[in-house]
């Protein structure tokens, strides 16, 4: 019976004595054989057995048949060969914990012939002490996102230790103090690895852990200063400390103004009220700022850094309802062009909400069709967002301007936007409704890959939510009808907006064209539906030869667009289904009767 892929010059199968299996290990050039006085041995003098051990290594054991042997081997089962030679280094997993399981590590330089010596990360404990290869769990209470306070944590240092391939953020050049600060500020960061001028942030579970001189650097394991120091809801310690601080303040003021008993009484009454109000307002502002930072892999910029990066906000790229976007470049050593969105202080309340929305939503997303947020500035009254720079600007200029993209590129852009929206709706940890899908918010990089941007109006849903009640959001012409019905909205509002955008990209015209010959032709959705129903797709692509050669795809895209803009939300397909239909992975159903309210598509 085969037990693995064939290797040249080996025979890997079981028989009554396991001799062939044993021979394959001893002859393998990649096997390790611990030193012994007289080798090779023969089956005549030794019993042999091979076991696939729990640590993933295949080991060959021998036992002398003659108790008076002169081999030097004891009268016990002795390991004389193994494969792989170094399980600690060789056994790695893309979706598992590696040789020692999650949150554990082994030493590359240890003798692994008998067993793999797995150890827990400092501050963690084995799941099962008898089966250490199962990995480890934290030996402390892990704070939730809402409770996290960076000042409650410290680092345990582990020299020459790493979890390669498990990092989610990399900073260079940097120093160790900055590396520590970056990890402390991020509730997702469970450990940081600092080596040379590089810092990697790692989140739980830690995988493929290894230690050894060849690793270099050091690992910084984040653990609570004391297990009891972790705050709980309504923590008595926190309340007591706050009361002590306020009491001290009252006492000092009372002593200084002791000449007036009445004034002292007034102070004693007013001070707690003023202090409580001020502290809570400050705390609320601080918490709001911290909550946008926690769990994100973002760099925090100072106002001065961004002022210098944009040459005092000299080159304007565009503007929107809440601010202006400027072009800039990060300091020497980074060589990266950036776009800095400076929120308008005149609309303080609205821009503050947009700032919080944008950081919270896009910071947790990672997709090739979403614009990448690099960091932000939250200093004093300054609110700025720093994005990767998109050299080709917005899609708008390539649809309605003098330069129009060829059909094939437009088709690829359509499918890229659909994939990005599908990710936001179904693949994010928190479902995100963008609420403002339009051509201006689709940016194009050097290769014309589309990136969805501007999450200022986005709505994040809880895990148990599928719909939400909120004020009307979006841009005229792209807003779904249900926004005006004073009812809860779902991700289908984005599907509607995408349908309108899809027609714009197909036809290279705006959703409303006031100079059109008739009222029906002025509204793109009505006109496109009429052209489709009358079999005049050529009118939609304005005689574009490339598109007419690809008429089957044009018809498919137009049909999908009409599905997306149906008035009844339940009839619209999900963005995942939209992406599949656009790609031709699933058939596009026949459009329903306009009076029908029974969906034939999920």
Assigned token pair, 435: 């609420």
* Residue 436 is a catalytic residue: yes
Given a contact cutoff of 8 angstroms between Cβ atoms, the answer to whether 526 and 513 are in contact is no
Residue 299 forms beta bridges with which residues? 375
349 a known binding residue?
Answer: yes
Half-sphere exposure of 41 (CA within 13 A, CB side): 32
| Contact residues for 496 (Cβ-Cβ < 8 A; gap 6+) | 478, 479, 480, 481, 564, 565, 569, 572
CA–CA distance, 380 with 362 (Å, rounded to integer):
23
With a CB cutoff of 8 Å and minimum separation 6, the contacts of 161 are 105, 193, 209, 210, 211, 215, 218, 219
CA separation (Å) from 24 to 4, 11, 98, 427?
Answer: 12, 6, 25, 47
Given the residues 436, 447, 464, 550, the one annotated as active site: 436
Cα 490 off chain centre by: 23
Closest alpha carbon to 479 in 458, 457, 468, 494: 494
Report which of 390, 399, 366 is spatially closest to residue 445, judged by C-alpha positions. 390
DSSP E strand stretches across 344-480: 373-379, 382-388, 432-433, 442-444, 450-452, 459-460
- Where do we find the tokens 């290869």? 133
Cα 425 to Cα 492: distance, rounded to the nearest angstrom: 10
Binding site members = 349
Active-site residues, by number, are: 436
Which residue ranges make up the annotated binding site for ATP?
A: 349
């Amino acid at each position: 019976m085969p037990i693995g892929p064939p290797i040249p010059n080996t025979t890997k199968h079981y028989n009554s004595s396991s001799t062939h299996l044993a021979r394959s290990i001893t002859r393998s050039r990649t096997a390790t054989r611990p030193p012994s006085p007289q080798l090779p041995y023969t089956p005549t003098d030794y019993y042999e057995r091979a076991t696939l051990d729990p640590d993933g290594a295949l080991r060959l054991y021998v036992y002398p048949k003659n108790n008076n042997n002169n081999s030097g081997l004891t009268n016990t089962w002795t390991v004389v060969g193994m494969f792989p030679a170094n399980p600690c280094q060789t056994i790695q997993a893309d979706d598992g914990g590696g040789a020692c399981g999650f949150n554990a590590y082994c030493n590359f330089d240890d003798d692994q012939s008998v067993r793999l010596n797995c150890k827990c990360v400092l501050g963690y404990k084995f799941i099962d002490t008898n089966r250490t290869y199962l990995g480890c769990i934290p030996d402390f209470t892990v704070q939730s996102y809402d409770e996290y306070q960076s000042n409650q944590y410290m680092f345990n240092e582990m020299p020459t230790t790493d979890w390669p391939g498990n990092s989610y953020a990399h900073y260079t050049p940097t120093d160790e103090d900055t590396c520590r600060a970056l990890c402390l500020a991020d509730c997702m960061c469970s450990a940081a690895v600092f080596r040379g001028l590089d810092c990697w942030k790692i989140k739980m579970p830690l995988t493929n852990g290894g230690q050894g001189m060849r690793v270099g650097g050091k690992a910084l394991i984040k653990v609570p200063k004391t297990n009891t120091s972790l705050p709980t809801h309504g923590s008595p310690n926190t309340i007591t400390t706050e009361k002590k601080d306020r009491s001290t303040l009252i006492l000092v003021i009372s002593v200084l103004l002791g000449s007036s008993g009445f004034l002292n009484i007034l102070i004693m009454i007013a001070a707690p009220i003023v202090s409580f109000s001020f502290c809570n307002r400050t705390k609320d502002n601080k918490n709001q700022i911290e909550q946008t930072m926690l769990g994100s892999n973002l760099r925090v910029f100072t106002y001065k850094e961004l002022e210098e990066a944009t040459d005092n906000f000299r080159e304007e790229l565009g503007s929107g309802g809440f601010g202006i976007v400027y072009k800039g470049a990060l300091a020497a050593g980074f060589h990266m062009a950036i776009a800095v969105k400076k929120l308008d202080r005149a609309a303080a309340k609205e821009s503050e909400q947009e700032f919080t929305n944008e950081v919270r939503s896009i910071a947790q997303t990672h997709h090739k069709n979403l614009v990448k947020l690099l960091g932000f500035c939250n200093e004093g009254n300054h609110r700025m967002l720093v994005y990767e720079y998109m050299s080709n600007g917005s899609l708008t200029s390539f649809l309605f301007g003098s330069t129009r993209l060829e059909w094939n590129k437009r088709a690829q852009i359509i499918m890229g936007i659909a994939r990005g929206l599908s990710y936001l709706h179904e693949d994010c940890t928190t479902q995100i409704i963008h609420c403002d899908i339009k051509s201006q918010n689709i940016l194009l990089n050097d290769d014309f890959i589309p990136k969805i941007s501007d999450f200022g109006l986005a709505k994040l849903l809880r895990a148990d939510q599928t719909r939400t009640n909120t004020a009307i959001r979006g841009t005229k012409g792209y807003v779904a009808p249900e926004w005006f019905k004073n009812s809860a909205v779902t991700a289908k509002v984005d599907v509607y907006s995408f349908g309108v955008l899809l027609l714009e990209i197909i036809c290279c015209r705006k959703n409303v064209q006031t100079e059109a010959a008739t009222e029906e032709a002025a509204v793109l959705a009505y006109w496109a539906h009429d052209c489709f129903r009358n079999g005049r797709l050529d009118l939609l692509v304005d005689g574009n030869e490339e598109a007419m050669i690809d008429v089957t795809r044009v018809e498919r895209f137009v049909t999908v667009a009409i599905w997306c803009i149906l008035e009844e939300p339940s009839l619209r397909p999900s963005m995942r289904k939209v992406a599949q239909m656009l790609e031709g992975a699933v058939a596009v159903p026949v459009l329903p009767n306009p009076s029908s309210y029974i969906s034939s598509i999920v």
